[in-house]
Structure 1
Amino acid sequence: MKIIVTGGAGFLGSRVIRSLLAAQEAGMPGLPTFDGIVSVDLAPCPVTDRRVTSLTGDIADAGFAETIIGADTAAVYHLAAVLSGGSESDFDLAMRVNVDGTRALLEAARKGGAVPRFIFTSSLAVYGGPMPAVVPEELGLQPASTYGAQKAIGEFLVNDYSRKGFVDGRVCRLPTIVVRPGKPNSAASSFASGIIREPLAGVASNCPVPTATKMWLSSPDTTVKNLVHAITVDGAQIGQWRTLNLPGISVTVQEMLDSLERVGGKEARALVTQEPEQRVIDIVCSWPGDFEVSRPIALGFTRDADFDSAVRQYKAEFAS
């Protein structure tokens, strides 16, 4: 049996793969039995392990999807996506990857007949419009971006394919992941890592949103831990509606900058400018900044203790 990870060459996907391998070695309870992991992306997976195979191709190609998912598929992690900023600038590409690609993978799973566990990473971008200060699970979706609309479509597809018994789905709405290493990506929220990552390296960075903006955040380590946990939770425990708001911490941008100063010093804080960018404000400020997450916490998902710990985590691993 095998586990498929789309987006396996990326930062999050490669970390999920490493964590799944470590969980297998540790005999993690609830982890499906598997012989190998297949990374599916536009580039080879950076994880060098005999249990990992890399395939490159277009997930929206139904024929290609059917070659990677079959009767020997224990689970699918669908992480590949065109992110928020990229979705706004290239609608057609985003539709192909985010909607057609998700449907092609689900159809391949349906035809394969194995009923794999299907972990779909969604986003808090599915929300928009008037919202309470703390968002409950049952709040209706009103996405204010192309990316949010496409992720909402994916959520409904995974839930319906689960209802029909074609897959055993888990929709994981991720908080904004901070601090990401490397270069900025096409996500509108990319600045949230940039205003920490760049100053810690002695490089100037701009904050494009008001400092009072609330953000729902999770460190990379906690996010990956929760995604690996998602594959171990019995579907019956989740219930008929398979969508979960993964736990995060609610932090204002000002509090993020305060953490930067505490961990990196006044010199690092001084490198952050504050020039507004309306394109980013329109997307990011439509997202909720706090969630009610008692159900996922009861299911064993976790959150960071505070934002200082997330900054220290990044500094220890990448900036020291």
Structure 2
Amino acid sequence: MKIIVTGGAGFLGSRVIRALLAGAGRQDGLPGFDAIVSVDLSPCPVEDPRVASVAGDIADPGFVRQVVGADTAGIYHLAAVLSGGSEADFDLAMRVNLDGTRALLEAARAAGTVPRFVFTSSLAVFGGPMPKVVPESLATMPASTYGAQKAIGELLVNDYSRKGFVDGRVCRLPTISVRPGRPNSAASSFASGIIREPLAGIPADCPVPLDTRMWLSSPGAAVANLVHAMAVEGGRIGPWRTLNLPGLCVTVGEMLASLERVGGSGARALVREAPDRRIMDIVCSWPGAFDTSRAAALGFVGDSDFDSVVRQYRDEFSGVRTA
């Protein structure tokens, strides 16, 4: 049996694959598997005999049905055109984010084995007037193409689960910070850049007001929660398969205060306020805090504070040891 990870060559996908391999045979509740298939446009960086890389277009039903078969125990659908890229190229985003999701669900349905299906959604599904703390039951009002496509994906996964075609779990991920490497096309990419670049001695621009609230998760907590999402028994989740995953509610100003405490005043001085209306229109429409009580009761976890998140990045990736 196998687990499929779309976007398996990416930052989050490759870490999920490593975590699955590390927990194989030890993580209670994970479906049994002896292989992982990374589906992406690039080869998976994880070198392990249990991991195979397959390159192809997830919006191509024929390709997807070659990958998803009766031996599929679970599917992680992480591949997506991100928020900034979706605004820039509507047609590509529709093909990957919407057509690709439906193609995967249809392939799982055709396989007939009801695989567990973990779909990563986003706080971008929300917009408009919102309470200070957003419950899972709040109606989605996305203010971006990416958010609209994720909201549609949520409904599809819930309905395919209701029909018994898949055993779905929709994980509304917080913004992941701090990501190593180069900036990506997400409108929220600055949430890593304003920490990552200064810790490396590189200036960074902050495109949103300092009082903007962010809902954040470290990479470590995000990966742990995605592995747990595959492991938790579907009946415990209930008929509504969408979960607000735990995160930290911090303002951008508080993030920069953490940067100064961990990286020093010199690092903080490298961040320049540079308002960008395009990014503000997207990011400032997102909520900054969620009710995650149902996810917590199911065993999902969050970070303790943002200082710890910055230290985690510094110690694992940057090599910086300044006080």
- TM value normalised by structure 1: 0.99
CA RMSD of aligned residues (A): 0.4
- Equivalent residue number for residue 194 of structure 2: 195
The aligned counterpart of 2:14 is: 14
Counterpart-to-counterpart distance in 2, 1:178 and 1:302: 16
Amino acid in the other structure paired with 1:246: L
Q: Which amino acid letter does the alignment assign opposite residue 11 of structure 2?
A: F
2:79 corresponds in structure 1 to 80
Work out whether 1:264 is the aligned partner of 2:263. yes
Compute the displacement of 1:23 (Å): 0.7
Residues of 2 paired with 1:108 and 1:28: CA distance?
Answer: 27
Superposition map of 1:113-192 within 5 A: 113-192=112-191
Q: Distance in 1 between matches of 2:302 and 2:141?
A: 26
Deviations 1:151-208 (A, max 9, x none): 0010000000000000000000000000000000000000000000000000000000
Kindly state the Cα deviation for residue 137 of structure 1 after the two structures are TM-superposed.
Answer: 1.1
Q: What letter matches 2:172 in structure 1? A: R
Q: What amino acid is aligned across from residue 20 of structure 2 in structure 1?
A: L
- Which residue of structure 1 lines up, in the alignment, with residue 5 of structure 2? 5
Paired positions, count: 319
Q: Shift in Å at residue 114 of structure 1?
A: 1.0
Q: Can you list the C-alpha shifts for 1:250-292, whole angstroms capped at 9, x where unaligned?
A: 0000000000000000000000000100000000000000001
Runs of 4+ in 1 over 3 A off after TM superposition: none
Gaps of 5+ in 1: none
SS for the counterpart of 1:215 is: strand
Q: 2 CA distance for matches of 1:292 and 1:90?
A: 33
Q: How does 1:59-70 map to 2 (within 5 A)?
A: 59-70=58-69
Offset from partner CA, 1:69-121 (integer Å, 9 cap, x none): 01000000000000000000000000000000000000000001110000000
Identity of aligned residues (%): 75
Distance 1:148 1:215 in 2: 16
**What's 1:54 paired with?**
53
Q: List aligned pairs for 1:251-290, cutoff 5 A.
A: 251-290=250-289
Aligned-residue offset at 1:130: 0.0
